[in-house]
Amino acid sequence: MPALMFGKKICQWCVQHEAAQRGELGEDAPQPVMAAPWVRRESSVTLTQVLVGANVMIFVAMVLASGPSFDFTSPVMDHFGANFGPYTLTGEWWRLVTYMFLHGGLMHIAFNMWCLWDLGALCESLYGRWTFAAIYLITGIAGGLASVAWNPGVLSVGASGAIFGLAGALLASFYLGEFSVPKVAIQGTLRSLLFFIGFNVLFGALVSGVDNACHVGGLVSGLAFGALIARAAPDARYSVRRLLIFLAIFFLLAASAVGIAHYHGLPFRIGPSPFEHRASSRPAASEPTT
């Protein structure tokens, strides 16, 4: 659509198409079928599919460990690595990763995987596999830290912190114009992202048993991550800058973890928690089915 490109040609097909319209090419000239220039093809199996598969496999394992049953008790979620402040903040930092792959019930995982399948595919195609992986991991950790900072005594599970991180990164990148996509082509996507974020934050604020702190932590870190990439490393040529951004945010989160542990009066350490695991007496909270 040349009228929307302001004189810029964004792909070889557009240039060839205009040449054909001017009569510079014959009618039998081959017209190549090209992928969108912002899409990066890397493998037939995407990381989004791997993440969804991992979540489903762990959910099946939790069902089998429960009887089989979809009624997961706190000890089962604790055993699989739920995020729980007294354990996470006193050495079991791996829970900030494992909690992202656990879910509290069938509806919880169904809605989260639905959102991950759509947002993850879009984010992976635009950013590339490894940047997408970094955004997912970092924002999920940020959501987990926000959760234990706000609700240290509650078990938290779910992928929605990382999913909110993906939404935040995409929103910041689209708004700052990182991707070579005409503005008119992304207006619908921007509206959908804003509706997704607004609806789920409001839902989390009104419904009990929802770890909204995790959502906000993932969203804010995703917005920051997306903005930094858009401004400092807008495409794959700046891989070193993207790595530096990833490391800077990771160390910022590590410093935040030390501060959160100190704020709650817990000893900061790395290794098995000195607290006795009695998760059966603790309330369990899952993130909302987004």
Q: At 265, which CATH number?
A: 1.20.1540.10
Q: What is the pLDDT of residue 274?
A: 64
Beta strand pairing call for 155-157 and 284-286: parallel
Say yes or no: 52 and 153 in one domain. yes
Please check whether residue 281 lies inside any domain of the structure.
Answer: no
Q: What is the pLDDT of residue 10?
A: 52
Please check whether residue 40 lies inside any domain of the structure.
Answer: no
Say yes or no: 69 and 25 in one domain. no
* Domain count along the chain: 2
Tokens of 200: 């789920």
pLDDT at 119 over 60: yes
Determine whether 190 is exposed, middle or buried from the number of CB atoms within 10 Å of its CB (0-12, 13-18, 19+).
middle
pLDDT at 6 over 70: no
Specify the range with the lowest mean pLDDT, choosing from 193-197, 262-266, 268-272: 268-272
Active-site residues: which are they?
160, 215
Q: What is the pLDDT of residue 187?
A: 66
Say yes or no: 138 and 192 in one domain. yes
- Percentage, residues of the chain above pLDDT 70: 74
* Average pLDDT across the chain, whole number: 79
Please check whether residue 283 lies inside any domain of the structure.
Answer: no
Q: Is the peptide bond before 86 cis (omega within 30 degrees of 0)?
A: no
26 — pLDDT class (breaks 50, 70, 90): low
Q: What is the pLDDT of residue 75?
A: 87
Q: What is the pLDDT of residue 263?
A: 84
Distance, CA of 75 to CA of 93 (rounded, Å)? 18
DSSP helix/strand/coil, 284: strand
Region 268-288 average pLDDT:
54
Region 179-200 average pLDDT:
70
Distance, CA of 217 to CA of 227 (rounded, Å)? 16
Q: What is the pLDDT of residue 280?
A: 41
Q: How many residues does the chain have?
A: 290
Distance, CA of 152 to CA of 124 (rounded, Å)? 32
Please check whether residue 41 lies inside any domain of the structure.
Answer: no
Tokens of 36: 């969108």
pLDDT at 191 over 90: no
Please check whether residue 286 lies inside any domain of the structure.
Answer: no
Say yes or no: 194 and 243 in one domain. yes
Dump pLDDT digits (tens) for 45-55.
889 999 999 99
- Of the ranges 113-117, 193-197, 198-202, which is most confident? 113-117
* Under 8 Å between Cβ of 198 and 215: no
Say yes or no: 109 and 21 in one domain. no
Instruction: Determine the structural domain holding residue 150 and report its residue range.
Output: 47-274
What is the residue type of 277? H
Say yes or no: 262 and 125 in one domain. yes
Region 190-217 average pLDDT:
78
Please check whether residue 12 lies inside any domain of the structure.
Answer: yes
